[in-house]
């Protein structure tokens, strides 16, 4: 399979977390004490209210500004996932290249007709129907595109700023027959392309001439049945010449900026059979809200609380899928919690892994329980959230966080572009929920 199979992170047993008692007397009954021998533990599942959200993700990146994003990718192609409600997702990839300080002498002195040019791309993602090859088209950009941190639906260039005739050879195909990840594919550019783009042979002293005069490519895969992702950092524009003695000399312009434009058509509402749909790329997510003023949470205001986890299950693997259809497993989830106005986060959360995103939004640390079954927020974070929220509500204040936004993400904040759908159960035996561990006297 071309998809990345992540090792399962299994967490077993209940975790008992002791919190430092605050001077506020309203903490009584909510903390963790000793003398547990006379107490009986039980768990309570609390399901939140759920609504759909749309936050279009960032799919543009600049390798020079963020060199730590070595895993970034750009996508091309089209996929219609069998999961109901996903619709048809179409992607177009944009890539620009960094200049070279100088060129090898054999290339620098060669005539344009003695040189060939090709794109070399390394696969890092596959979503769709298996195929031996895919037809692609590469178009020159005539103006500089603002790809840095652009969002997936952005029109970074007008059609007038993209050449109408392909830069690639007619009927260019990329070979996808290899089953391993990180397969290098090549796209040959048409004869005469170098002669039409003399800037590639005039990089300047530091490559600045090339970067000012060459603006990159748009890559499409029309009529495909899969989306393929390519590593941004591994992308290269290669020039090649072969001498009369058959010596080959090459020069590679490395990837600098990439962007993926994503559109979705024919999508449903994503509400079927007790599930809600989360879908990467198009920004379809969920917002969870727990009501601390109604049962069962209201009844726990004076009940000792010893553990808490927030679970985000995934039932996508249970959907019947054709044998020739490949769907990556989730690399992770993002849960962004929003605090109320004028209610800063307390010092008790220092060291829990929660960090501020912007304004009142905070990213919670999320672990995969199993790549195919979902993720969770552990006791060290969930327990103080629910403890403090119960305490605050009892004192007439809002909870620690009012809303928890869930989306597909490989990281807590910006994640590499994806088209992956996930089905989250919202009722039944394994719903989206918080599981709380309480105790009562025996």
Clarify whether residues 258 and 287 are in a common domain: no
Closest C-alpha among 381, 259, 270, 374 to residue 313: 374
Give a yes or no: residue 415 inside a domain. yes
Question: Does residue 341 lie within any of the structural domains?
Answer: yes
- Residue 93, both tokens: 């990839």
Sign of torsion over alpha carbons 291, 333, 423, 223:
positive
Burial of 335 (0-12, 13-18, 19+ CB in 10 A): buried
| Confidence (pLDDT) at 30 | 42
Q: Is the peptide bond before 267 cis (omega within 30 degrees of 0)?
A: no
CB 186 within 8 A of CB 118: yes
Cα separation, 46 vs 124, whole angstroms: 38
- Is position 287 within any domain? yes
Residues 140 and 200 in one domain: yes
Same domain, 261 and 340: no
Picking from 234, 265, 296, the residue at the C-terminal end of a domain is: 265
My answer on whether 307 and 397 are in the same domain is yes
In 146-164, which positions are buried (b, 16+ CB within 10 angstroms) versus exposed (e)?
A: ebeebbbebebbeeeebee
Q: Residue 93, SS3?
A: strand
Domain contains 278: no
Distance CA(253)–CA(241), nearest Å, equals 15
208 and 105 both lie in a single domain: yes
Are 260 and 293 in a shared domain? no
Q: Same domain for 214 and 153?
A: yes
In Å, what is the CA distance from 429 to each residue of 91, 274, 285, 313?
A: 36, 11, 22, 11
292 shares a domain with 202: no
Decide if 293 is inside a domain: yes
User: Contact, 389 vs 292, CB < 8 A?
Assistant: yes
Show pLDDT as tens, one digit a residue, over the chain (442 residues).
Answer: 443 333 332 233 333 333 333 333 333 334 444 445 677 889 999 999 999 999 899 999 987 765 445 679 999 999 999 998 999 999 999 999 999 988 999 999 999 999 999 999 999 999 999 988 899 999 999 999 999 889 999 999 999 999 999 999 877 888 887 645 678 999 999 999 999 998 888 877 777 888 889 999 999 998 899 999 999 999 999 999 999 899 999 999 999 999 999 999 998 887 777 899 999 999 899 999 999 999 999 988 888 899 999 999 988 777 788 999 999 888 778 899 999 998 989 888 888 999 998 889 999 999 876 656 788 999 999 999 999 999 999 999 999 999 999 998 765 456 789 999 999 999 888 899 999 999 876 6
In this structure, the answer to whether residues 46 and 128 fall within a common structural domain is no
Same domain, 258 and 326: no
The strand pairing partners of 433, in sequence order, are: 311
Point out which residues pair with 337 in neighbouring strands.
362, 404
- Among 83, 79, 137, 165, CA closest to 417: 79
* Per-residue model confidence (pLDDT) at position 27: 35
Task: Count up the domains in the chain and report the number.
Answer: 2
Name the residue range of residue 302's domain.
Answer: 25-54+283-441
**258 and 292 together in one domain:** no
Which tokens hold the place of 110? 């060669």
């Amino acid at each position: 399979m071309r998809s990345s199979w992540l090792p399962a992170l299994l967490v077993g047993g209940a975790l008992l977390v002791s919190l430092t008692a605050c001077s506020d007397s309203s903490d009584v009954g909510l903390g963790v004490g000793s003398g547990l021998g006379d107490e009986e533990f039980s768990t309570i599942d609390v399901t939140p209210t759920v609504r759909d959200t749309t936050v279009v993700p960032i799919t543009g990146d600049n390798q020079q500004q963020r060199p730590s994003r070595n895993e970034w990718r750009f996508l091309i192609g089209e996929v219609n996932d069998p999961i109901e409600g996903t619709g048809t997702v179409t992607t177009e990839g944009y890539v620009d290249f960094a200049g070279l300080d100088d060129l090898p002498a054999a290339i620098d002195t060669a005539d344009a007709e003695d040189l060939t040019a090709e794109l070399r791309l390394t696969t890092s993602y596959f979503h769709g129907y298996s195929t031996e090859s895919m037809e692609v088209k590469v178009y020159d950009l005539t103006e500089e595109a603002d790809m840095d941190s652009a969002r997936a639906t952005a029109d970074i260039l007008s059609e007038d700023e993209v050449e109408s005739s392909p830069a690639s050879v007619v009927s260019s195909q990329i070979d996808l027959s290899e089953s391993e990840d990180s397969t290098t594919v090549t796209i040959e550019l048409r004869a005469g392309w170098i002669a039409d783009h003399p800037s590639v042979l005039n990089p300047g002293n530091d490559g600045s001439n090339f970067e000012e005069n060459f603006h990159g490519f748009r890559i499409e895969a029309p009529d495909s049945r899969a989306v393929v992702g390519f590593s941004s950092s591994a992308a290269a524009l290669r020039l090649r010449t072969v001498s009369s003695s058959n010596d080959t000399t090459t020069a590679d312009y490395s990837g600098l900026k990439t962007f993926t434009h994503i559109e979705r058509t024919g999508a449903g509402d994503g509400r079927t059979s007790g599930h809600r749909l989360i879908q990467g790329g198009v920004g379809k997510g969920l917002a969870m809200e727990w009501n601390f003023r109604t049962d069962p949470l209201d009844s726990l205001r004076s009940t000792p609380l010893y553990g808490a986890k927030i679970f985000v299950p995934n039932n996508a693997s249970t959907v019947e899928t054709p044998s020739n259809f490949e769907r990556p497993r989730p690399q992770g989830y993002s849960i962004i919690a929003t605090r109320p106005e004028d209610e800063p986060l307390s010092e008790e959360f220092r060291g829990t892994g929660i960090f501020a995103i912007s304004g009142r939004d905070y990213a919670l640390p999320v672990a995969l329980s199993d790549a195919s079954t979902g993720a969770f927020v552990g006791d060290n974070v969930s327990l103080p959230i629910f403890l403090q929220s119960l305490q605050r509500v009892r004192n007439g204040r809002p909870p620690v966080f009012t809303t928890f936004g869930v989306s597909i993400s490989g990281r807590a904040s910006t994640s590499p572009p994806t088209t992956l759908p996930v089905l989250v159960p919202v009722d039944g035996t394994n719903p989206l929920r918080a599981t709380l561990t309480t105790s009562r006297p025996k």
